[in-house]
Each structure stands twice: as structure tokens, then as C-alpha cells.
Amino acid sequence: MTNSIVIGLDIGTTSTKAVAFNRNGIVVGEYEVEYPLHTPHHGWAEQDPLEIENAAIMAISSLIKTSTIDPDTILAIGLSSAMHSLICIDDEGEPLSPSITWADGRATNEARRLQEQNSNLYLSTGTPIHPMSPLVKLMWMKETDYPPFHTAAKFVSIKEFLLFRWFGSQLVDYSIASATGMFDSHTLYWNPDALKVAGIIEEKLFTPVPPTTEIRGLNREIAYKTGLRENVPFIIGASDGPLANLGIGAIEPGEVAITIGTSGAIRQLVPQTKTDQLQQTFCYTFTESLSLIGGPTNSGGIVLKWLKELVGENMSYDSMSSLAALAPAGSDGLLFTPYLNGERAPIWNSNVRGNLFGLSLQHKKEHLIRAGLEGVVFSIYHVGQALERLAGKPDKIMASGGFARSPLWLQILADVFNQQVDVPLSHQSSAWGAAWLALYSIGEVDSLEAIKEHIPMHGHFIPNIENHHVYMKLFSLYKDLSETMDKHYQL
């Protein structure tokens, strides 16, 4: 079928995107529907799962309409979604609670207690002990008598929620299961010790399956609303992390993907589980033979958004980037630790807060904005050092996510890491990874690795060695500040 397409449906924290690709990775249409994050109290971060379901329906239907796609040409739909969401549902799939996202911090005390117990769960699950994980969220629900906890038939992620409502499916892919903190990466099933800590039984969770699992029989009403055929194959896919690596071609050892969207991450696919006692990185199962090792930072576009509200209210993001380019590398000594919402890897401290260090009368808006961009890259580099300890020095760096639209930010990345950074033409790497996985699952392509021949590239950024030396001096200070603040905010 020469005109056939494949769709990647990427269910993110701020929006759901439906992206149509041809077999060569060229985007032939995309549609994005945004939704809010509700923060009614300090530390809360919730979303309406029904609102996200409607966004997914609208994204698919609008993609088909605006791109004039014939539903008969859709080979399959691959799914990607953000990790760590938790929803309490009843037997019919109706939500009893909001979708509690990774950014929710209400389980901070439970996370601290579990850390103090020197639990070995991390070595089995690969999920750091942190309020982001559903394991710790369930501990919080149990210990605070959260009403939906006691009445829920199942505890699910946002992707499971949609698939249950659309197909009656009770399956969860390995990577989403792995990010709960309750999945054993060695047995590829739920870990009994983790379930005991969470206070639930395995029947309250869906069955873990490989990412290539095919689901058919779309609900007739959903098919009508989306414009899809009822028999179109949906491939369960994975979380956005491993799919971003796949979609950018970072598959082999030494190939590192760096994604910065609302938050950021540095990741590498490895052939076996890698964890250690320091617990600075995650290690999530992707397939039976591949795991994703790396670490997330809370910093990313959220920092730029904060800076826009602070100093660039009337400027576009492009204008802010242009202004930041007027300041030199290192922002004339202004250093920003971007812990505006706590931090995940490598310090895993949800209480830590940001800091502007070295501020003087000479610093202007351009220095502040550039320091923000540099601080986000320093946070990624900080995680990268922990990743390097476990997986070796990166041979190749590839960038994806919204920040890949900023030449300045990409140049800062290349300069800090002192390595060439390759950038694909499309920044929708998770969606392309989901779409390619779908093609592989239905037998349209021979291997996951073959995607490397089907990633249109935009170009690359070469490091400036003088800038690198400036950044290494600043990063030494960044690490010292990070360690000091980590200790201070443990008190």
C-alpha cells in the first residue's frame, strides 16, 4: 500500500498529539490538543482523565479531518504516554480519582520513610524511591485513608485507562509497569514485596505485556468519534522515554538521547538491567532484551515558562532565545540551579529549591534567560555523569523534544557535553518511535534497529571548546551548590 500511513498517539503531561507518518518517517499530518494541570494546593499535580480521553479522541479525529486521511490507509496506531500517572477506577472504567501525575509531591513523607528503611526494592524494580512513583503514591493513599483507594477496583496509568475504556483491555506494557516501582525487571511481573509496601494485591493491577502487543476491537462509539475503523490495530507501545530513544535512533550501546520538553531526561538503551546502591538513575524495562537506563530532571521548558512570566511576558520564546544569545557563554558568572519544583535525578530530593548564584548589577534580562537555559543543561549533564558511571561515556548524542527548536539551547548542550549533537527533522520522536514499533509489531518492517534508515535529520551542532572550558568551571560550582542545597533541604 504505497499511500499507507501509521499513527503515533503520544499522551503527554501537557497535551496529546496524534502524528501521522509515512514509512520513511516523514510527518504527513499532526494535531495536538492541550489540557491543564490542576494544582489546587501546594504540592498537588492532578489532571482530569476524562478530559485527556476527550483530547485523545479529538487529536485523532482532527488529524484525520485536517490531513484528509482515508481511515482505510491507516496501518496501525502505536501508543506512547508519560510515566508515573495513577488513577483509581471502578469495574466499569469510571475514574474515582483524578490522574495524579509524576509532579505530585503529596507522598514526600512516605518516600522519605521508605528511603530511611534502606529498602532494596530499587535493585529489583529500577525505580528510584520518590514521590513521583505510583508505589509511593499508593503508600500515601493507604496511610492517609484517601477514599478512592479503598473503593477502587483497579489502579491504572492514563494509557491503561484509555485502553480499558476503548477496548476493555486489562494490559499494561512493560515500561509503564516498570515505572510504577512495583514491577520486577528480573521476573517481568509484579514484585510481591513492592505490592506489600503499597498495600495492594496484584489483582488490582493490569497484566504486564511486551510493547509489541496488539489490541483490536475498538469500541464502536469511540470508532465513530475518532473516525477510525473498528478493526484498526492498536499497538500497546511503551512510555515516552524508550520510544523517544527509538524514534531518534538511539538504540545501540553508547547512543544517548537527550529530551527536553516540560521536563528533561537523558537516556540510553542497554541489553541488561543496570542498577547500583547509589540509586541515582532509573532502569526501566522496555522489551524482554532491552532496558532503558537514565534519569529525569524536573527542569526543562517549565523553567523557560517561568522566566517568560518573570522577565519576558511580552516576548515570544524565539525572542527570548535571541535575547539570551546576546549574553556570553556562562552568563558572565550568573549560575542558576533550576530546582523550581524540586529535583529528581541524580539527587532525588523533592524539597530542594532553585537558586540564582552570582547575581550582580551588570546582569540584565539576557543573562537571566541564558543562565536559565544553561542551568537546565547543567541538570542534564549532572544526570549524565551518573549515567556514564553505569553505562560508559556516550559515543553519540541525539536531541529531541521542544528544546530542539532552539539553536541556542542545542549549542549550549553541545558545548557543555563537548560532543556533537545530532537533531532530527521532526521533534516528535516519541510519536515516531511508537509508530515504528507499530509497524514492526504488524510485520511491516523487519526490526526495531531498521528505524535508523528512516529518521530524517535536520542537522548537527559542533561544540565550541572555549565555551566548554567556561562551562566546566561553572559546572564544578553547580555540583557544589547542588550538594549543599540537597543537604540543606533534607533537614
Question: What CATH number does residue 114 fall under?
Answer: 3.30.420.40
Domains: count for the chain: 1
Confidence bin at 320 (pLDDT 50/70/90): very high
Q: What is the mean pLDDT of residues 300-329?
A: 93
Residue 235 lies in a domain: yes
Residue-wise DSSP of 180-245: TT-EETTTTEE-HHHHHHHT--GGGSPEEE-TT-EE----HHHHHHHT--TTPPEEEEEEHHHHHH
The percentage of the chain sitting over the pLDDT mark of 90, rounded to a whole number, equals 89
Residue of 158, 240, 239, 174 lying closest to 427 (CA atoms): 240
End-to-end distance of the chain based on CA atoms, in angstroms? Answer: 63
| Pairing verdict, β 421-424 and 457-461 | antiparallel
Q: What is the mean pLDDT of residues 9-27?
A: 95
Number of Cβ atoms within 10 Å of the Cβ of 209:
16
Residue 424 lies in a domain: no
Residue 339 lies in a domain: no
Q: In the prediction, which pLDDT does 1 show?
A: 42
DSSP three-state, residue 340: strand
Residue 157 lies in a domain: yes
Can you say how many angstroms the Cα of residue 57 is from the centroid of all Cα atoms in its chain? 21
Phi and psi at residue 209, to the nearest 5°: -140, 160
Residue 174 lies in a domain: yes
pLDDT tens profile 415-450: 999 999 999 998 889 999 999 999 999 999 999 999
CB-CB contact of 211 with 234 (8 Å): no
Give the residue numbers spanning the domain of 238.
5-242
CB-CB contact of 292 with 267 (8 Å): yes
Residue 2 pLDDT > 60: no
**Alpha-carbon torsion (242, 244, 246, 252), positive or negative:** negative
Q: What is the mean pLDDT of residues 315-320?
A: 94
Residue 203 lies in a domain: yes
Residue 126 lies in a domain: yes
Residue 121 lies in a domain: yes
pLDDT tens profile 94-109: 999 999 999 999 999 9
pLDDT tens profile 135-186: 999 999 999 999 999 999 999 999 999 999 999 999 999 999 999 999 999 9
Residue 50 pLDDT > 70: yes
Beta-strand runs (E) in 261-418: 264-270, 282-285, 291-297, 335-337, 355-357, 396-400
Confidence bin at 491 (pLDDT 50/70/90): low
Mean pLDDT of the chain: 95
Q: Measured between alpha carbons, how far is 141 from 135 in angstroms, rounded to an integer?
A: 10
